[in-house]
Structure 1
């Protein structure tokens, strides 16, 4: 009985974290900076892997997209519409694509006490998420290169859209 109650609490937290991340995507789509500010920590930690020309999320989150550069114009027109969103405790993974630009993206959000504190963004990168140790711990995630011997760790999620980029993409492993 205690295990089922614990599972319900984890499921409720996962659901709450997914709702929070979905609310962020809604705010980004609406270009509602006030709503974004309520959802993310003022010291949001951002990590990016991909071509520098695809730093659309950074431009949107920092407000740099309002300048007149061509990168900012591209960021203004870029829509982050997640095609899948899953949660593993405090980590929420969202994946989407823009077939017109031949790009796929994965965001790994960290939610702490009801606010988004970290995002790891992967553009044109295949991502595999593995679980290391206690899944309930809130320890920081560690990036492990795909070439590492990660065979001992169970895969809990893998990118499904990377083939839509229309080109070969690197693969990374995110350990949670």
Structure 2
């Protein structure tokens, strides 16, 4: 917390936040990067409202898959959501480059 707010300048906590890819899905922005020096991959999922970041989700050393929920042919509260209606629209790629196995998560938008 002290590093993120600028209250600490301790280099042992230094974390390179160099974005390597940026993708948008409506109001959701996905930014992915990797700190090769520390073997850390990261993904940020930002929600942007009226040009302002209103929510940030951060995933470290986690493989992330973004999927879109809902029917491709309209929505119905009684319709069952099947895998055909939840297509994967983005998958992280840099977690494989840090040379270790990482857990996987699905972010539904």
TM over 0.5: yes
In 2, Cα distance between equivalents of 1:97 and 1:151: 30
| TM-score normalized by the length of structure 2 | 0.79
Greater share of helix: 1
Structure 1 segment 61-100 matched on structure 2, within 5 A? 63=5, 65-67=6-8, 73-74=12-13, 77-100=14-37
The gaps in structure 1 that reach 5 residues or longer are: 1-55, 136-149
CA RMSD of aligned residues (A): 2.5
Q: CA deviation at 1:73?
A: 4.5
Q: Is 2:97 aligned against 1:156? A: no
Aligned match of 1:106 = 43
* Contact map agreement 1:98 1:104 (CA 8 A) in 2: yes
In 1, Cα distance between equivalents of 2:16 and 2:94: 16
Aligned match of 1:120 = 57
The gaps in structure 2 that reach 5 residues or longer are: 73-81
| TM-score normalized by the length of structure 1 | 0.51
In 1, Cα distance between equivalents of 2:57 and 2:71: 21
Greater share of strand: 2
